Amino acid sequence: MSAVPDLSDLTPPDGVLVVLSTLESAGYEAWAVGGALRDRISGTTFPHRVARSDWDVATDARPEEVIHLFPRTVPLGIEHGTVGVLGEDNTVYETTTFRLDVETDGRHATVEFADNIDDDLARRDFTINAMAWRWKTGEFRDPFGGREDLHAGLLRAVGEPVERFAEDYLRVLRGLRFAGRFDLEIEVETKEALVEATAHLGTLSAERVREELVKILEDPCPSTALDLYTECGALEPWFPELTEMAGDRASWRRHLGTLDGIRPHRAPVRLGRLLVPLAEDADERASAADRLLERLKFSNADRRRVVHLVRSALPFVSPVDSSAHLRTWLSEVRGAWRDLFRLHAGAVRDASDPRATGALVAAWRSVHDEVLDHPPLQVGDLAISGTDVLGLGVPPGPVVGLLLEELLAQVLEDPDRNDPHTLTDEARRLIELGSLAGPRLEDGGDGGG
């Protein structure tokens, strides 16, 4: 057994302590396992992602006993022995009964409970994830040398790699994520097995693949894991269009590097950035992005947000653009303008090109100044409404919208025009000209040709 590391600064948050001490006081063993322990031992801090809920607890208490011990619990996966214990601030602490995995089909394991922590650690995927610490006694268990691997910079499967990946192909993606996050070399046999196993990634559910991608995007430097996806053949099954983009490896790497320049808590912006090179044409780009996001079963809200970013990313504004141009851009990109600056900032941060950074900052200032003036940017901001237009004798129908759009274009050019008199006069003039939809205006409402 490896030497006991100095875990003195391993102070679990209060909510975790409540879970650990309650279980121990009732006579059970309670071990901190998994991500939080590994991340702390590695010395890497993840200010954004490693929330308190990431302290997973392993215990010999059976699920029904855990439910009995705590006033508020949620059955997260009783059949897998997992009960969520709700803390005072509603944080969910995952508490899982020691278990053995038996009989798997590469996606789901049939579970049996184990009697001790070592058996439980043996079913875990990588040595760095198979460590445990018992708060009550200070015991540290690391039967597979995870701590040593972590410090030597190695990702190694627990046990026989080929079997371990075949039990659950998600481990391929998890492995690449951890290797990227901690900058680990993948141990030779583990890597061989991992590369072989990528052929089966298509059997995973879209949700699990999506969650993996999102976790990568929430890591400090997603480029490393995504480049490993490329290198190991893990992109192909779920992201064929990205495989195509990755054809020119050097430029793909540069592109991935721009994701690192966007802050980790902006995962949707990073995702948008990742997908921008899908096509030059904005509409094509947007539909390609949407297809990918749909395939991964992203929520409609996420899809809308990311697709809008992907579509609006280019062309971007520059410091020499006129105010009118900037307002037109703001009108088109709507609330996404800040995210679009973040999306582009990733590239300049990575390239650390002072001129590009200067230009971006200058463009930001100009846009920000425009925004501070609260100019009218949408039809709804106009000083006259659709009802007013109807009052001028325009028949109900699409012409009303077209007329308002034309007025908005003029107001974007010159916000001073946004007063009811000017706009009403202009609307009358346009109606008389019949220039909006020519024949339609003359049609009246009778639908005749």
* Residues at the site binding ligand ATP, with contacts judged by CB under 6 A: 34-35, 54, 56, 124-125, 129-130, 168, 170-171, 174, 215
Nearest approach, Cβ of residue 31 and ligand ATP (Å): 11
Residue least distant from ligand ATP (Cβ):
35
User: Binds 266, which of Mg ion, ligand ATP, none (CB < 5 to 8 A, cut-off by type)?
Assistant: none
Q: Which helix (H) or strand (E) holds 323?
A: helix 323-333
Query: For residue 197, what are its two tokens?
Result: 């196993």
CA distance 67 to 210: 31
Q: Which helix (H) or strand (E) holds 19?
A: helix 14-25
Nearest approach, Cβ of residue 255 and Mg ion (Å): 29
CA distance 359 to 197: 46
Please identify, using beta-carbon distances, which residue of 125 and 370 lies nearer to Mg ion: 125
Q: Which amino acid is at 131?
A: M
CA torsion angle for 424, 376, 379, 428 (degrees, to 10)?
A: 10
User: Binds 290, which of Mg ion, ligand ATP, none (CB < 5 to 8 A, cut-off by type)?
Assistant: none
Please identify, using beta-carbon distances, which residue of 108 and 249 lies nearer to ligand ATP: 108
Please identify, using beta-carbon distances, which residue of 77 and 391 lies nearer to ligand ATP: 77
Does position 54 interact with Mg ion (CB under 5 A)? The reply is yes
Nearest approach, Cβ of residue 280 and Mg ion (Å): 39
Nearest approach, Cβ of residue 234 and ligand ATP (Å): 15
Report the 10 Å Cβ neighbour count for 183.
11
Where do the H-state alpha helices sit in 123-219? 146-152, 161-167, 170-181, 188-197, 206-217
| Interface with Mg ion in residues 345-364 (CB under 5 A) | none
User: Binds 171, which of Mg ion, ligand ATP, none (CB < 5 to 8 A, cut-off by type)?
Assistant: ligand ATP
Please identify, using beta-carbon distances, which residue of 225 and 232 lies nearer to ligand ATP: 225
Please identify, using beta-carbon distances, which residue of 109 and 361 lies nearer to Mg ion: 109
Nearest approach, Cβ of residue 38 and Mg ion (Å): 9
Question: CA dist 391 to 264, 395, 399, 424, 442, Å?
Answer: 52, 9, 13, 10, 16
Report the 10 Å Cβ neighbour count for 212.
22
Nearest approach, Cβ of residue 2 and ligand ATP (Å): 17
Q: Which of 13, 35, 145, 319 binds Mg ion (CB under 5 A)?
A: 35
Helix and strand element counts for the chain (H, E): 22, 11
By the criterion CB under 5 A, which residues form the site for Mg ion? Answer: 35, 54
